[in-house]
Structure 1
Amino acid sequence: MKYAILGDIHSNLEALTAVLARAAELKVDSYVCIGDVVGYNSNPHECMEILRGLKPEAVIKGNHDDYVANLQLELYGFNPQAAQAVKWTRSQISEEERLWLEDLPYTKDIIKPGGVRFQLVHGTLDNPRMWGYIFDRYSAETCLQYQSMPLCFCGHTHTPMLYVKSQQEVTASSFEEVRIMPNHKYLVNVGSVGQPRDGDIRASFATYDTKDNTVALHRVPYDIETCQQKILDAGLPSRLAERLGYGC
């Protein structure tokens, strides 16, 4: 079984389309999403429709999904551009789509025959509703303490990163491919499909091959210019379009 792990799609239709084309080339069998389907970009309806059409094994709630779905939540902690995008997205989606976002779980454990076991969370396992960030091995250490399975996928920072706990030591590194070894815990940030922030403007996602027990990171070019123009045409902040061209 080969899974595609998608995260932080953020209503970027062009990036999602390119990622799914690459996933098809890789002969992916199933999909999971670690949250933030919506926010920032201009195609929330289309991205939700495509993702749901994949019949993913799991979709986790991200902070943008939460705030778009819950109209009573004040947008504390969001910068002005992000807050404007949340308000705009609320006005664009249907009630049925809002309820779908509202019903998404904060975490999910995937357990399959043959010893396949992994966890999904958007932010951190220790308090998934508070939207904490994992930026380094020190912040990863707490999350790993709550990790009950050898492998967990997360997102939220929009920066791909690998955290590994072996005995009492936690290490952090970038990665292209890693083999899941016994007696280790792996916390894998899969980066962002729709708004990368690691200086690489290409969309990011990961695959997990349960036969080989390997996780691989994939970077995919997409039509950034079209996405940028659609952001501007929608009346969203120009900063949201600009940052796509810098990967920040």
Structure 2
Amino acid sequence: MAATTLPLKSLKKTFDLLRIDPQHLYLAVPATDAAPESVMDLNEITELLWDVETDAAIANNIWAEIVRQTRTKNSGWTVVACGLAGPALMSKAGMLKACFPGADTAEVQAEMVEGFLIALRTIDLDDAGIESVAGALANKAFNMARIPYREAAGDMADLSADGLVSGPPCFPVGHPDIVLARAVRAGVITAEEAEYIGRTRLEERNLADVGAELKVATTTLFDRRAAAEARLVEALASGAI
């Protein structure tokens, strides 16, 4: 019996083919305060968006234009968007699988892709509260993808005496997701760090607003969240949680 082709792996292959095709897709990127108007080919776009040193305003401007292109009849840009978001979607799929270990990997990835496609259609590019277009898209995809698993498991599972659930269900609304709770239990992140991630990533709250509520400077909150997420990703990759 042939092995199941994982959706994100299949998308990556298609994206890689687009990158080596001599007839590249070109994107006209509007001017911003951070950069002049420009025309970029797919490889230039990829290098910029995958470079962590790229200015956030420039990255957001490129991503916004890509989202607009996906809303036209050119399906190639939808593949491009999925390919560019591939690493983030793979990470989110791993997090979802960690929440629900019994879930089928191919199905989890398929749900993640479907969630991302919905995010491309519904994200409000005029929302001033969005700090990162790419991050908002990935978070929306994750939130959409986990809906059927949360419904199947039951969001309102009873808590045990030590605050843990007995199986894969997530904590009730208002608490961090189960994977964050496991990370806290394992000592990978603190409860405060789980709160930062839960509010700004899973609930898609504005970082400055959350910082104001918690009485933490935005820059400090950003640095603490980044450090916590780095430890969380490493723990997930190693199987520590």
TM over 0.5: no
TM-score calculated relative to the size of structure 2: 0.25
TM-score of the two chains, using structure 1 as the length reference: 0.25
Q: Which has the higher helix share?
A: 2
Bigger relative contact order, structure 1 or 2 (CA pairs below 8 A, ≥6 apart):
1
Q: Give the structure with higher Rg (CA).
A: 2
Specify which structure has the higher proportion of strand.
Answer: 1
